Amino acid sequence: AQSVAQPEDQVNVAEGNPLTVKCTYSVSGNPYLFWYVQYPNRGLQFLLKYITGDNLVKGSYGFEAEFNKSQTSFHLKKPSALVSDSALYFCAVGGYNKLIFGAGTRLAVHP
Amino acid sequence: DAGVTQSPTHLIKTRGQQVTLRCSPKSGHDTVSWYQQALGQGPQFIFQYYEEEERQRGNFPDRFSGHQFPNYSSELNVNALLLGDSALYLCASSSGTGYASPLHFGNGTRLTVT
């Protein structure tokens, strides 16, 4: 069975500092991995995906993610955090016709 | 270009009642998926519709049913509501059924069962 784990319920970071939101996955075969962001009372917005190719994937709003096959990880990163990045972030693995989401990590960026 | 639209935004129902939620996909999209997001959890896949047929179903009981219309819009029906059905119901659309296609989500319908 495919699954993802987000080990941190919340990540706190100061504005201007780099941020990392962690995700590990478990799949059989090649993983299709995604990051989505959810703002209060809104649906999820797509940030980026890894299908194949370069291990560093660049996405929306300055976010990027690093795929590491040996560590089965797909961590979300941003070089310089903004207060407006504060939201709920979900890692997901693509199963056939569906996505399996992690429990989410709340990112709080403090001024 | 309208994104995914869902109605209603909020709904309050009583245990045992039935509810219908509606979704219009993003323009150009032909596939609709439904997810349930309980408070503090990630979205859970309910089912996906493509060409007016249910293509795959998650681990949800038969009380959850759906439909897709020729214009690609979709409905989610839940019968015999339980307190545990209280959640944010998200509709997502995509083009085709390949799992490499990013999903576009609506803002959801918040269902409260009392």
In whole numbers, what is the pLDDT of chain B averaged over residues?
A: 93
Partner residue facing B100 (CB), from A46, A94, A102:
A94
Residue B97 with chain A: CB contacts under 8 Å = 97
Give the closest-approach CA distance of A38 to chain B in angstroms.
10
A82 and chain B in contact, CB less than 8 A = no
pLDDT for B7-16, tens place per residue?
999 999 999 9
Q: Which residues does chain A have with pLDDT short of 70?
A: 95-97
A3-5 and A24-26 strand pairing: antiparallel
CB pairs < 8 Å spanning A and B: 60
- Expressed in angstroms, the distance from the first to the final Cα of chain B is 37
- Which sign, positive or negative, has the C-alpha torsion B25, B27, B29, B30? positive
B4 and chain A in contact, CB less than 8 A = yes
Give the closest-approach CA distance of B79 to chain A in angstroms.
23
pLDDT for B21-71, tens place per residue?
999 999 999 999 999 999 989 999 999 999 999 998 999 999 999 999 999
CA A95 remoteness from chain centre: 17
Closest residue in chain B to residue A39, using alpha carbons only: B107
- Which sign, positive or negative, has the C-alpha torsion A52, B25, B1, A36? negative
pLDDT on residue A14:
98
- Which sign, positive or negative, has the C-alpha torsion A107, A109, B4, B8? positive
